Homo-oligomer: A and B are copies of this chain.
Amino acid sequence: MASEETERAPLLSQPSDLDYRTNLPRFATRFGSTRYRPHAVSQNGTVAADLQAMEDDANIINEHRETYIEDPEATSAAKEYTRIQEDMLLNVKYKSLDYDPCENEIFLKEEAPKGFSHILKQQVARWGVMFLIGVLTGAVAGIIDIVIEELCSQKYMLIKIYIDRCVQVENDCLIVPLLLFCALNAAGVLIAACLVVFVSPCAAGSGIPQIKCYLNGVLIPEVVRIKTLIAKAVGVMFSVVGGLAVGKEGPMIHSGAVIAAGISQGKSATFNFDLGVLEYFRSDHEKRDFVSGGAAAGVAAAFGAPVGGVLFSLEEGASFWNQALTWRILFASMTATFTLNLILSAFHGVPWSLSYPGLISFGAFDQDHSLNYNGLEIPIFLLMGCFGGLTGGLFNHINYKLSIHRIRHIYRKRNKIMEALVVAIVTAASAYLLIYLSHDCESLGKDPTNHPVQMFCKDGEYNVAASLFLQTPEDSVRSLFHDITGTYQAFTLALFAIQYFLLATWTYGLQVPSGLFIPLLLTGAAWGRLVGIGLSNALNDYATWMPIYPGKYALIGAAAQLGGVVRMTISLTVILMEATGSVTFGLPIMLVLMCSKWVGDLFNEGIYDIHVQLAGVPFLNWEAPPSTYDVPARRVMSHPVVTLLEVEKVEKIQQVLSKYPHDGFPIVDNYIPDLDDSPTFGRFRGMILRSQLLVLLKSKSFSSNEQRAPQLSLRDFRESYPRYIPIEKIDIAEEDLQKTVDLGPYMNKGSYTVSDKASLPRIFKMFRGLGLRHVVVVDSDRKVVGMVTRSDLARYRVEFSKGKLHFIELQLSTNHPTDT
């Protein structure tokens, strides 16, 4: 299929990130485990001879290399990877972001003389941008909420009218509202799926895994593009209106991140415009800071939890805590909460009352004192936490198997859309079935719901199951938390919980924007309330001193289910604390989250981590795997290393760039090949990035014998940003090939090096603590012996599964199952 090829193309055309490692099994790539010849680079030889010598080296280690680099799909060797478990592969094609500024001569020359007034201006701009991020994120959240509210209201009203009419006039036309329900849902989901599949595939799912990766330092293509925002924001409206078991909260986090990236850069790749402002923020490092703020603002708007938002950003992103940055992030979060509050209050006709802090609020628990708890209840909470961990583990397992099935079989565009439609129709049909079969009736007076459906209930009563389905999931969560004791029958809740659990499992991973928080909260609230009802029946006769409020147990169940699936820790605790508005109830929530995480971790990882792993993203964990002090740098590093001299011929640079996909090249002294077989690649001078070389070639800043090249400015490197330009697209005239390029002023002299004896934990700490994308491994003479990149570290992983810790080493692959 031609269209499938086009879809795959952007991924494959990217050069892989600093991949100095070859794709052979690990024993062959270990330093010293195979005897190999050092670079036989002749200083006086031709460029071709130089390259030939380098290549010979590489070939001794890895004869298969070329096949992977040149055409990964064509080789039969590639197919063998499908036999390896999909999450044991690391896709080396993901690029790292540069969180460490390149300190080259021109940087130092341009940065040093900048006065304090410039710094002040930059500071003011930082606050201004954060303010805008908060306002826009809040506004987008408000618009999404209002649109969903209105459309859903229309939809539910229509269905209610049809059901009521069919039941009342008893013409047995109940098939009509069913068809209507299915058709309305399918229509919504179709729009959402088309937006994702045709406009921005990156907008699928909750976006939290993508933002995690971005903040971690991995560039996921198109993740912060405006078209992704549009697909995400509009798509999530329609997937919620389409009645899927999805929430709109996760996508808000992604939306906030895109807004932040767009505003802070003052330009858009989607619309191809450039305001020409805020150039000083055009670095990966600055952009990351703003994206942290945007993600936090998204959480703040979604849950009315500004502090939870800050902690989310820190938990997922910060390797280096910065006080000033954190304060700005909190400011963005606060602004987003405030803006959303203002918009929703105004929309609901109570301007300035500021009673709508987030898209989902759990409502005020404190006033009826149902959130006080007795010490004897804590063991029950803990057991519920464990149950949440168990069901969460099950959820993740089913979803993992489903995801692998999707990777293998559902990769065509029309199949992806078909699957979404099937889920939409099944969701509607099963909901309708539950409503149809349910005989759980409540009197209308007791519990106000917006669209009470009478169905087969007596006059003055309404169908409780219908009230769960015929309102937005957020309203259903609140109903389960706050409806008075006795509203729900146990049987209805049990059926609902199982049904929604399965639907949510199936839905996550569809090609629609889909938040996971709300379906999980709803499932957990249902079984939590069930527990509350059970306890209430069992105990209230005996222990009148300990009244059981089912709503409180619904909250605990919701926390347990959510914690068991996503396994987030501190930020989730704070988000739930802020959403419930109770400091006192923070401890039970935290205990429940701890239990559910620990029990769930016995079986598998959190759902976001599973999806990150399935994508083969080289994600860096917080710390090195334990007990890896005996793994020295020379064991994890990639080599041989392609090095350049400070002054190189244009021809050689061009050929190196075409031949090697690496993202950076160490620059070394003019060195003589060692006679004693020591495998080094020259004494380290500095580091130059592929993107910098591309700018140099593109701007033709070549020196010939007659004249030296004009020196480029920092601006030239910031503006062109040629990360995606393939070297083939750069035209170099025949007569320029013999000219030279002076790399000296552009190489990063401050680039970090590490001794070849340094341990894995130490290198890990450097990467996380300093935000590095690579580090050069040198021997005691500062001669380059290898490079450690993000992929080299991400390959080592520990999994705590079935009560045991496993130390695993991932395979590297350029041909990854998720590509297909």
Residues of B within 8 A of A753 (CB): 753
Chain A 611-630 near chain B by CB (<8 Å), digits 1 or 0:
00000000000110011011
Q: Is the CB of B103 within 8 A of A762?
A: yes
A283 close to chain B: CB less than 8 A: no
Among the listed stretches A23-31, A234-242, A312-320, A519-527, which one makes contact with chain B, having 4 or more residues with CB under 8 Å of it?
A312-320
Whether B623 pairs with A322 at a CB distance below 8 angstroms is yes
0/1 interface trace, chain A 341-375, chain B, CB 8 Å (1 if under): 10000000000111101000000001100001111
Q: Take A372-B353, A750-B755 as given contacts and tell me if A321 and B323 are in contact as well, using a CB distance cutoff of 8 Å.
A: no
Q: Does A172 touch B at the CB level, under 8 Å?
A: no
A135 lies within 8 A of chain B by Cβ: no
Per the bound structure, the CA–CA distance linking A335 and B586 in Å amounts to 10
A583, B583: Cβ atoms closer than 8 Å = no
- Docked-complex contact A583 and B337, CB < 8 angstroms: yes
Tell me the minimal C-beta distance from A75 to chain B in angstroms: 38
A577 touches B307 (CB 8 A): yes
CB contacts (< 8 Å) of A337 on chain B: these are 583, 586-587
Bits for A49-93, please: 1 = Cβ < 8 Å to B, else 0: 000000000000000000000000000000000000000000000
CB nearest neighbor in B for A622:
B323
Say yes or no: is A116 at the interface (Cβ < 8 Å to chain B): yes
Contact A581 B578 (CB under 8 A): no
CB proximity to B under 8 Å, residues A776-792 = 778, 780-782
Task: Select one of B335, B367, B569, B750 contacting A757, CB under 8 A.
Answer: B750
Closest to A584 in B: B354
A590 touches B330 (CB 8 A): yes
Residues of B contacting A630 with CB < 8 Å? 108, 112-113
Chain A 139-164: CB-based contact to B (< 8 A → 1; otherwise 0): 00000000000000000000000000
Given the contacts A119-B627, A341-B584, A590-B330, A315 and B304 also touching, CB distance less than 8 Å: no
Which size class do A's interface residues fall under? 35 or more
A444 at the interface (CB under 8 A from B): no
Chain A stretch 744-759: residues in CB contact (< 8 A) with chain B: 749-750, 753, 755, 757-759
Which of A220-228, A430-438, A764-772 has 4 or more CB atoms under 8 Å from chain B?
Answer: A764-772
Taken together as a complex, chains A and B put the C-alpha atoms of A760 and B315 apart, in Å, by 28
In the bound complex, how far is the Cα of B111 from the Cα of A339, in angstroms?
Answer: 52
Q: Which A98-138 residues have C-beta < 8 A from chain B?
A: 103, 107-108, 111-116, 119-120
A570 within 8 Å of B (CB atoms): yes
Give A48 Cβ to nearest chain B Cβ, in Å: 30
Q: Are B570 and A629 in contact (CB under 8 A)?
A: no
Contact between A306 and B103, CB atoms less than 8 A apart: no
Q: For residue A593, which residue of chain B has the nearest CB? A: B327
Inter-chain contact B323/A583, CB cutoff 8 Å: no
Instruction: Name the distance in Å between A633's Cβ and chain B's nearest Cβ.
Output: 9
Contact partners of A355 in chain B: CB under 8 A? 584
Q: Are B759 and A116 in contact (CB under 8 A)?
A: no
Q: For residue A749, which residues in chain B have a CB less than 8 angstroms away from its CB? A: 755, 757-758
Asked if A338 is at the interface of the complex by the 8 Å CB criterion, the answer is yes
Kindly identify which residue among B111, B353, B781 contacts A629, using a CB–CB cutoff of 8 Å: B111
Indicate which residue in B594, B623, B759 contacts A103 across the interface (CB closer than 8 Å): B759
Contact, CB under 8 Å: A315 / B323: yes
Taking the complex as formed, is A804 at the interface, i.e. its CB lies under 8 A from any CB of chain B? yes
Bound CA–CA A327/B749 (angstroms): 38
Known contacts: A372-B354, A750-B758, A765-B770. The answer to whether A318 contacts B321 by CB under 8 A is yes
The answer to whether A570 and B310 have CB atoms under 8 Å apart is: yes
How far, in Å, is A271 (CB) from chain B's closest CB?
32
A683 interface contact, C-beta 8 A: yes
* In contact, A583 and B330 (Cβ under 8 angstroms): no
The minimal Cβ–Cβ distance linking A305 to chain B, given in whole angstroms, is: 7
Instruction: Chain B residues near A338: list those with CB within 8 A.
Output: 587
**A701 within 8 Å of B (CB atoms):** no
A599 to B108, CA, bound (A): 32
A341 to B372, CA, bound (A): 12
A2 to B775, CA, bound (A): 57
Min Cβ gap A460→B in Å is: 35
- Residue in contact with A627 in the complex, picked from B116, B314, B574, CB distance below 8 Å: B116
Contact of A323 among B324, B354, B570, B805 (CB under 8 A): B570
Among A107, A315, A583, A765, residue most surrounded by chain B Cβ atoms (within 10 Å): A583
Q: Please give, as numbers and ranges, the residues of chain B lying within 8 Å of A627 by CB-CB distance.
A: 111-116, 119
For residue A364, which residue of chain B has the nearest CB?
Answer: B366
- A103 CA to B761 CA in the complex, in Å? 10
A681 contacts B by Cβ under 8 Å: no
Which chain B residues border A327 with CB–CB below 8 Å?
569-570
Do the beta carbons of B314 and A321 come within 8 Å of each other? yes
A629 to B119, CA, bound (A): 13
Provide the bound-state CA to CA distance between A108 and B357, in Å.
Answer: 52
Q: What does the 1/0 interface line of A660-694 toward B look like (CB < 8 Å)?
A: 00000000000000000000000101000000000
Judge whether B354 and A586 touch: CB under 8 Å.
no
Cα(A327)–Cα(B601), bound, Å: 16
Q: B-contacting residues of A (Cβ < 8 Å)?
A: 103, 107-108, 111-116, 119-120, 304-307, 310-311, 314-315, 318-324, 326-327, 330-331, 334-335, 337-338, 341, 352-355, 357, 366-367, 372-375, 569-570, 573-574, 577-578, 581, 583-584, 586-587, 590, 594, 622-623, 626-627, 629-630, 683, 685, 749-750, 753, 755, 757-759, 762, 765-766, 768-771, 778, 780-782, 804-805
Closest 9 CB pairs of A and B: A112-B630, A769-B769, A116-B805, A111-B629, A327-B569, A321-B321, A119-B626, A334-B587, A112-B629
Known: A334-B590, A750-B762. 15 other contacts (CB 8 A): A111-B627, A112-B629, A113-B630, A314-B321, A314-B326, A320-B321, A324-B623, A327-B570, A330-B570, A334-B586, A581-B583, A749-B755, A769-B770, A770-B770, A781-B781
**What would 13 A/B residue contacts be, using CB atoms closer than 8 Å?**
A107-B629, A108-B759, A119-B627, A306-B586, A307-B577, A307-B586, A310-B570, A320-B321, A320-B765, A322-B622, A322-B623, A323-B570, A353-B372
